[in-house]
């Protein structure tokens, strides 16, 4: 057996091999050691001949899913090796085969998946000057390809967009992307270079889709894309050991089809998760997602990650959302019907891979039954294009009826133990059922009958696995046992008997039950095959249902949150009245958010410089503009009283001095490379949100850089993008007088005595000053420090910045100085000075701070 194990393990060296032995999956040697640790199960050992022992551990097969999930979550691959012949019938060693390899990128089992997230597998290849990318979700059947210029930045953006769980690259190209390996959540799987060869890839794709050319998928000419897609498919076949019939088509997309969002912008705008905590709550998705199906949730997320570029497409979506927006009853009826549907996409993946179980089939039947009603709701004239969609829904009435008539109301998940089908579905099955039933009835009546015949009042009929049916008589009544009873077993105070007649019925029942289970299994496979023929139809249906869910959900959100339908066009202007930040307004108490207007255009309002104290609302305002534009371009209504959006090709957002210590780069370096990326890629159709760029360096450097960047962005010969620019450099506000199209905005604050009150209102003009000291006071900086700051400020202001800080007079009272930073011999100061910030993670920094504070406190005590 170990020889068999080793042979199989050799073929699946990079996976943990689960080797089926009876009711257990066993793991041996290194696999056992790894698994025991990851799964926290006991490591034992097993005799391996000549007195040697090898490590071993096992998991019960019926509880395997949970363990497999754990291994996958840790990035391992798992090969499932089953007994492929009946052990009772096997001569010698039972034949075993790997029936499936489960890897993080190829999951199809819903217990291993997150229902609201796609699970993407990606293949990546470089050819000449392009990267070919293929992305598939085997659990839904989505399959996309594209080709992008061979630029690392673009590749990173695509990775951040798809977030694949596993990336396939050619063994030979592995060294091309050393950083791919460092991406911790990403599993990198090297594959044979042959798989990525265009000819092999193309052949595989043609065979899979049963076509003679890839023309229909729009990727015939994209050699690198085809190479990636073929390689992906080959891996999928190899792991799933199935025909993957649910991968029905391949969609070619181009980066230009969608609004381009780079990785920083995605993170910064907190589209699907928050920046710091990586939680859905607090993201735009969290506000928008009122979908009622898992597939709808996944689709909405996809939309958010790929906002549209083309006017007609945006209009089409908005139009459908509006139909649901206006018809409350239809919307509600639709949503409540959709809520009762099953996750058809994932069900179809299981159908294609042969793992669909009886309960899944019932869920499918129940979903089909809802369709006629759904069609009635939607097939109304006032639903316009939504009605058109509904017309295309095929409720597959025969299939629905077939499933309803076939399946019991509570079919099991297991398909080999019967109890799947209703009576009346199959004559042979009915006969077996009634044989079982008659036999059981006879046995049930036997007890009474035998009590009367023998006079033993306590006589009982029982059943156990070893002896089958028996008659049980207590010791005190043994003298009454008739002659025809045959003794089978003696217990402490009773004896068990059988009779020939009892055995005859027993055989009838048990034989019938076994036959019945076998027959039901056969019938189930047959039924599943019938459903299989409807796969393309069902796939279309799944897509339609997901779309309907998203339209209705966006409408629901629009109603609940008081959004309006944006007007969209291809002008280069953005006009928003009473715009709100969709997330911040949800977090604040109702009515507390202060709406603001926005006007950006090509001519007089191209670039706006926003000044105002910290905490006034600059960042919120700028993000709100970006989010409103983005929402419009996914086809959503927007938080405003009116909005007219000239579509943008890209949104860029950058935040100065982002704390990226973990990345090991200095913040200024990060900031500048992000900025460089914008200057290279922004166009006159882009929208730029720059939040305090240039903060990470000295004042004069920062100011000069910000200044030059602004001029470049403003210049229509260079970029000329619509730009919002928040800054603390008041000097920049003078640009408004010199460059046409540059405007100043400020967030007003009211001053009450020494305190500031934030009004969060954006008004034209530059802010007069920063109120930094007032804000510092709000943050709890001690009074002495604030007083000293005021002193310095007034001197700096009086002398003009140019004369700089040397001229600032020494404090009148030196005791105000903080001792920590002047006491040269203080060990804390030495440590601080010698600290290499670039080598610290934020967590380590925090720990250090904590220790220092503790030491300081000790000293003071």
Ligand X SMILES: Nc1ncnc2c1ncn2[C@@H]1O[C@H](COP(=O)(O)OP(=O)(O)O)[C@@H](O)[C@H]1O
* Contacting positions for ligand X (CB under 6 A): 584, 588, 592-594, 612, 614-620, 760
Q: Which does 330 bind (CB under 5 to 8 A by kind): Mg ion, ligand X, none?
A: none
Of the two residues 308 and 724, which places its CB atom closer to ligand X in the complex? 724
Q: Residue 617 binds which one of Mg ion, ligand X, none, with CB within 5 to 8 A depending on kind?
A: ligand X
- Rounded CA gap, 156 and 104, in Å? 20
Q: How far is the CB of 719 from ligand X (least distance, A)?
A: 24
Q: How far apart are CA 129 and CA 634, in angstroms?
A: 31
Please say whether the dihedral angle defined by the alpha carbons of residues 55, 61, 63 and 65, taken in this order, is positive or negative: positive
Residue nearest to Mg ion (CB): 619
Task: Give the CB-nearest residue to ligand X.
Answer: 617
Residue 621: DSSP 8-state: H
Beta strands in 406-554 (DSSP E): 460-464, 468-474, 486-490, 494-498
Kindly tell me which of 600 and 724 has the beta carbon lying closer to ligand X: 724
Report the partner that residue 266 touches, choosing among Mg ion, ligand X, none (CB closer than 5 to 8 A by kind).
Answer: none
The contacts of residue 224 (CB under 8 Å, 6+ apart) are 125, 126, 127, 128, 130, 131, 132, 147
Least distance in angstroms from the C-beta of 727 to ligand X: 11
For residue 161, the partner it binds in Mg ion, ligand X, none, with Cβ less than 5 to 8 A by kind, is: none
* Shortest distance (Å) from residue 594 CB to ligand X: 4
Contacts of 439 (CB under 8 A, 6+ apart): 505, 506, 508, 509, 512
CB of 692 to Mg ion, least distance (A): 6
Binding at 822: pick from ligand X, Mg ion, none (beta carbon under 5-8 Å per type) = none
Give per-residue burial for 795-805: e unless 16+ CB within 10 Å, then b.
eeeeeeeeeee
User: Nearer Cβ to ligand X, position 615 or 713?
Assistant: 615
Beta carbon nearer to ligand X, 512 or 693: 693
Using CB distances below 5 to 8 A depending on partner kind, what does residue 593 bind out of ligand X, Mg ion, none? ligand X
Contact of residue 584 among Mg ion, ligand X, none (CB under 5-8 Å per partner type): ligand X
Q: Could you count the other beta carbons within 10 Å of the beta carbon of residue 620?
A: 19
Backbone angles phi, psi at 693, to 5 degrees: -70, 140
- What does the block give as tokens for 577? 């009245």
Residue that the structure tokens 């265009």 belong to: 198
Q: How far is the CB of 360 from Mg ion (least distance, A)?
A: 50
Summarize as ranges the residues that interact with Mg ion (CB under 5 A): 619
- Judged by beta carbon, residue 161 or residue 618, the one nearer Mg ion is 618
By C-beta, is 240 or 619 nearer to ligand X?
619
Q: Which is nearer to Mg ion, 96 or 695 (CB)?
A: 695
631 binds, among ligand X, Mg ion, none (CB under 5 to 8 A by kind): none
Smallest gap from residue 617 Cβ to Mg ion (A) = 8
Q: Which is nearer to Mg ion, 436 or 727 (CB)?
A: 727
DSSP string, 718-741: T---EEEEE-S-GGGGGHHHHSTT
| Shortest reach from residue 737's CB to ligand X, in Å | 24
User: Rounded to the nearest whole angstrom, what is the least distance from the CB of residue 593 to ligand X in the complex?
Assistant: 4
Question: Based on CB atoms, which residue is closest to ligand X, 208 or 618?
Answer: 618
Q: What angle do CA 288, 640, 727 make, to 5 degrees?
A: 95
- Beta-sheet strands, E only, within 29-120: 44-47, 53-60, 78-83, 96-102
CB of 615 to ligand X, least distance (A): 5
Closer residue to Mg ion in complex, CB, 140/619: 619
Max CA-CA distance within the chain?
A: 124
Residue 43 CB partners (closer than 8 Å, separation 6+): 32, 33, 36, 55, 56, 57
What angle (nearest 5°) sits at the alpha carbon of residue 186, between those of residues 180 and 190?
Answer: 65
CA distances, 153 to each of 187, 326, 370, 494 (Å): 20, 43, 47, 82
Q: Could you tell me the smallest distance in angstroms from the CB atom of residue 623 to Mg ion?
A: 9
Residue 516 touches which member of ligand X, Mg ion, none, C-beta under 5-8 Å by kind: none
The item of Mg ion, ligand X, none sharing an interface with residue 321, based on CB under 5 to 8 Å by kind, is: none
Work out what residue 295 binds among Mg ion, ligand X, none; the CB cut-off runs from 5 to 8 Å by kind: none
Nearer to ligand X, 330 or 594 (CB): 594
**The two structure tokens encoding residue 463:** 């059943």
Q: Give the nearer residue to ligand X in terms of CB position, either 57 or 616.
A: 616
Residue closest to 246 by CA, chosen among 103, 363, 136: 136
Minimum CB–partner distance for residue 591 and ligand X (Å): 10
Min separation Cβ 650 and ligand X, Å: 23
Alpha-carbon distance of 575 to 597, in angstroms, equals 8
Selection from Mg ion, ligand X, none that 189 binds (CB < 5 to 8 A by kind) is: none
Task: Kindly state the smallest distance separating residue 590's Cβ from ligand X, in Å.
Answer: 12
| Closest approach of ligand X to the CB of residue 770, in Å | 11
d(CA 411, CA 421): 8
Binding-site partner at residue 392 among Mg ion, ligand X, none, CB < 5 to 8 Å by type: none
527 or 584, CB closer to ligand X? 584
Give the integer Cα–Cα distance in Å for 260 and 88: 61
CA–CA distance, 584 with 282 (Å, rounded to integer): 8
Contact 766, 730 (CB under 8 A): yes
Cα distance between residue 344 and residue 536, in whole Å: 12
Q: Which does 615 bind (CB under 5 to 8 A by kind): Mg ion, ligand X, none?
A: ligand X
**CB 764, min distance to ligand X, A:** 17
Of 242 and 727, nearer to ligand X (C-beta) is 727
CA distance 565 to 588: 23
Cα dihedral value 479, 485, 491, 493, nearest 10: -20
Closest residue by Cα to residue 371 from 346, 397, 405, 347: 397
Asked if 403 contacts 361 with a C-beta cutoff of 8 angstroms, the reply is yes
Task: Report the residue number, 234 or 744, with the smaller CB distance to ligand X.
Answer: 744
378 binding partner (options ligand X, Mg ion, none; Cβ < 5 to 8 Å by kind) = none
Contact between 81 and 1 (Cβ < 8 Å): no
């Amino acid at each position: 057996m170990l020889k068999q194990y080793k042979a199989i393990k050799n073929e699946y060296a990079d996976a943990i091999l689960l080797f089926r032995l009876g009711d257990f999956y066993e793991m041996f040697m290194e696999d056992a050691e790894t698994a025991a640790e990851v799964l926290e199960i006991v490591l034992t050992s097993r005799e391996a001949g000549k007195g040697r022992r090898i490590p071993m551990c096992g998991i019960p097969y019926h509880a395997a899913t949970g363990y497999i999930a754990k291994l996958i979550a840790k990035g391992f691959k798992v090969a499932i090796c089953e007994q492929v012949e009946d052990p009772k019938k096997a001569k010698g060693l039972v034949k075993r085969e790997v029936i499936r390899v489960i890897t993080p990128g190829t999951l199809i089992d819903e217990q291993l998946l997150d229902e609201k997230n796609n699970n993407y597998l990606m293949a990546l290849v470089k050819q000449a000057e392009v990267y070919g990318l293929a992305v598939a979700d085997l659990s839904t059947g989505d399959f996309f390809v594209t080709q992008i210029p061979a630029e690392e930045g673009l590749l990173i953006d695509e990775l951040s967009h798809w977030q694949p769980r596993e990336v396939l690259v050619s063994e030979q190209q592995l060294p091309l992307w050393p950083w791919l390996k460092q991406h911790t959540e990403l599993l990198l799987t090297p594959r044979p270079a042959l798989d990525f060869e265009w000819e092999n890839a193309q052949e595989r794709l043609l065979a899979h889709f049963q076509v003679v050319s890839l023309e229909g998928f729009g990727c015939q000419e994209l050699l690198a894309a085809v190479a990636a897609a073929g390689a992906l498919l080959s891996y999928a076949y190899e792991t799933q050991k199935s025909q993957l019939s649910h991968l029905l088509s391949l969609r070619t997309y181009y980066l230009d089809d969608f609004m381009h969002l780079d990785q920083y912008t995605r993170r910064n705008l907190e589209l699907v998760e928050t920046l710091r905590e990586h939680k859905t709550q607090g993201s735009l998705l969290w506000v928008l997602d009122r979908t009622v199906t898992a597939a709808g949730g996944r689709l909405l997320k996809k939309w958010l990650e790929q906002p549209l570029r083309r006017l007609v497409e945006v209009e089409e979506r908005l139009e459908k959302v509006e139909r649901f927006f206006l018809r409350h009853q239809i919307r509600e009826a639709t949503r409540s019907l959709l809520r009762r549907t099953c996750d058809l996409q994932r069900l179809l993946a299981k159908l294609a891979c042969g793992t669909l179980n009886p309960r899944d089939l019932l869920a499918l039947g129940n979903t089909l039954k809802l369709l006629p009603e759904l069609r009635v709701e939607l097939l109304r004239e006032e639903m316009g294009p939504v009605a058109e969609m509904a017309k295309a829904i095929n409720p597959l009435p025969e299939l629905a009826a077939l499933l309803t008539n076939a399946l019991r109301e509570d079919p099991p998940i297991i398909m080999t133990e019967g109890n799947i089908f209703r009576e009346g579905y199959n004559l042979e099955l009915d006969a077996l059922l009634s044989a079982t039933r008659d036999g059981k009835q006879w046995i049930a009546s036997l007890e009474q009958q035998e009590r009367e015949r023998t006079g033993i009042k306590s006589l009982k009929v029982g059943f156990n696995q070893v002896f089958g049916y028996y008659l049980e008589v207590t010791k005190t009544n043994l003298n009454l046992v008739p002659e025809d009873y045959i003794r089978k077993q003696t217990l402490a105070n009773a004896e068990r008997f059988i009779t020939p007649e009892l055995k005859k019925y027993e055989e009838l029942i048990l034989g019938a039950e076994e036959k019945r289970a076998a027959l039901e299994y056969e019938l189930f496979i047959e039924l599943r095959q019938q459903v299989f023929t409807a796969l393309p139809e069902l796939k279309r249906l799944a897509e339609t249902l997901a779309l309907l869910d998203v339209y209705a959900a966006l409408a629901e959100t629009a109603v609940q949150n008081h959004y309006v339908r944006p007007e969209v066009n291809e002008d280069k202007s953005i006009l928003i009245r009473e715009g709100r930040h969709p997330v911040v307004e949800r977090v604040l108490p109702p009515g507390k958010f202060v709406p603001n207007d926005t006007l950006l255009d090509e001519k007089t309002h191209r670039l706006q410089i926003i000044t105002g104290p910290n905490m006034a609302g600059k960042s919120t305002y700028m993000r709100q503009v970006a989010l409103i534009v983005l929402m419009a371009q996914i086809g959503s209504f927007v938080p405003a009283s009116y909005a007219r959006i000239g579509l943008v090709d890209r949104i860029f957002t950058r935040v100065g001095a982002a704390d990226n210590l973990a990345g090991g780069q200095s913040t200024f370096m990060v900031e500048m490379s992000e900025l460089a990326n914008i200057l290279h890629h922004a166009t006159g159709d882009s929208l730029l949100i720059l939040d305090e760029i240039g903060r990470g360096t000295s004042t004069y450097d920062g100011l000069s850089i910000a200044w030059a960047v602004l001029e470049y962005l403003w210049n229509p010969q260079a970029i000329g993008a619509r730009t919002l620019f928040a800054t603390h450099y008041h000097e920049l506000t003078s640009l408004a007088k010199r460059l046409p199209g540059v405007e100043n905005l400020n967030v007003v604050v009211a001053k009450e005595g020494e305190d500031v009150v934030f009004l969060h209102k954006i008004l034209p003009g530059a802010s007069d000053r920063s109120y930094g000291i007032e804000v510092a006071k709000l943050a709890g900086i001690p009074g002495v420090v604030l007083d000293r700051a005021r002193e310095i400020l007034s001197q700096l202001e009086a002398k003009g910045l140019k004369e700089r800080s040397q001229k600032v007079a020494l404090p009148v009272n030196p005791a105000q100085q903080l001792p920590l930073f002047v006491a040269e011999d203080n060990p804390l100061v030495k440590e601080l000075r010698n600290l290499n910030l670039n080598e610290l993670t934020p967590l380590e920094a925090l720990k250090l701070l904590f220790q220092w504070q503790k030491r300081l406190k000790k000293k003071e005590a």
